[in-house]
Amino acid sequence: MTLPTQDTDATRALRGLEDCDSSLRLRAALAVGTNPDPRFLDKLVERCGIEPDFSVREMLTWALTRHAASLTVPALLLQLRSERAQARSQALHTLSKIGDGRAWPALTRALLSDADDEVARSAWRAAVVLVPEGAEAGLATVLATQLGRGGHETQLSLSRALIALGDAAAPTLRAATTAPDPRVREHAIATERLARDPDAGFAFALEEAKRVMVLGTAIQEE
């Protein structure tokens, strides 16, 4: 990326994005976002895929949202094909912040079931934001295929996504409460309980789900 020699501040900011000091990278990302310029896009997108510091990544995302969506969305969509999980995850996260519906077709079943938990979680959050009216039930059906997956944080992310879909997800969740896989049943029951009582917390909802399953098994055995 070649910048005019007079653009010393821009040049300094772009170089700062690669500094070994995370605080300097953070300030550089802030500077680039404060004065958005299309010439910054490639470097911002590239840095999102490799930046190790969470706070800096968030600032990079903010900087990207300050640029025109007509430029940022196509650049981010290309990152969804990256072999680097962080590049896919951060692109999805940024797309969810931009909220441009043109990104919806790129949220494929493959991304929604990505083998990397962080990518999948980012895809779930982005999908809930970008899903067009009338497509919520179909999205819920795809998301339900991931019930029972991963640890506490992954399951909570999926539950929140399904709950955010509202009534459109209710039939799919209800069907999942009788799935053959006990982990799927437990997660579905917990999600229903969390939807009814968000203040109770996910850990409590999971414990309640386990009790329901134990009682159900006991009744069947009787």
CA distance 10 to 134: 44
pLDDT of residue 6 exceeding 50: no
pLDDT of residue 211 exceeding 50: yes
**CB-based contact 161:128 (threshold 8 Å):** yes
In this prediction, residue 125 carries a pLDDT of: 98
In this prediction, residue 13 carries a pLDDT of: 80
Give kind and range of the element (H or E) at residue 211.
helix 202-221
Q: Which residues contact 206 (CB under 8 A, 6 or more apart)?
A: 155, 186, 190
Domain membership of residue 18 (yes or no) is no
- Residue matched to tokens 């386990």: 210
Domain membership of residue 162 (yes or no) is yes
Q: What is the pLDDT of residues 68-77, one digit of tens each?
A: 999 999 999 9
More confident residue, 136 or 221: 136
Q: What is the pLDDT of residues 180-190, one digit of tens each?
A: 999 999 999 99
What's the structural domain count of the chain?
2
Tell me how long the chain is: 222
Task: Tell me, yes or no, whether 144 and 222 share the same domain.
Answer: yes
CA distance 65 to 70: 11
This prediction has a pTM of 0.88
pLDDT of residue 222 exceeding 50: no
Task: Tell me, yes or no, whether 141 and 212 share the same domain.
Answer: yes
pLDDT over 90, % of the chain: 80
pLDDT of residue 221 exceeding 70: no
Domain membership of residue 6 (yes or no) is no
Task: Tell me, yes or no, whether 184 and 222 share the same domain.
Answer: yes
More confident residue, 110 or 14: 110
Task: Tell me, yes or no, whether 141 and 222 share the same domain.
Answer: yes
Helix (H, G, I), strand (E, B) or coil at 66: coil
Helix (H, G, I), strand (E, B) or coil at 132: coil
